[in-house]
Amino acid sequence: MKQTCKRLALRLTAVLLALSLAACGGEKYTLGGVYSPGRIIPSGSQEQSYEEYVDEATADIRDNPFYESLRAMYYYSYDFQENGVVVQTTVAAQSEGTYTLDGNTVTITMGGEETSATYDPENNTLTFTESDGDVWILEPEADTSASQ
């Protein structure tokens, strides 16, 4: 009888240990707040601030009377809401879509198109790698947060 009780106790302990480890799983992250481009690494080039990138991209139109309006067209943001909704805002429009966060992969679906980014919880950034090799690093705007 004592042997049976010991075996049962060991099995129960093993089951409980396995369940507790399974419950821990990998790290789960949540994403929330407004993110906009902070840095870019153009294909075959060095990392630069997004501001420097826009300065270079608009250098030849600085004399245009609509320079500031044209420059504003480069800016956009993503607002990740807790309910899985994401809103992209540009100077011209707002678009709504959905997002999922699986591990550190963020998948955004908007207008029937899907794109993915890598979420770095330590630096609270989102990294998009384009097919042409450009890497866009989005950073949180003031008063946004993402937590573990």
Per-residue pLDDT of the chain (148 residues; tens, 9 = 90+): 444 333 333 333 333 333 333 344 445 677 899 999 999 999 988 999 999 999 998 999 999 999 888 888 999 999 999 899 999 999 889 999 999 999 999 999 999 999 999 999 999 999 999 999 999 999 999 764 444 4
The residue among 128, 116, 120 whose CA lies nearest residue 146 is: 120
28-140, which class in CATH? mainly beta
**Residue 11 C-alpha from the chain's centroid:** 42
The predicted pLDDT at position 24 comes to 45
Predicted model pTM:
0.73
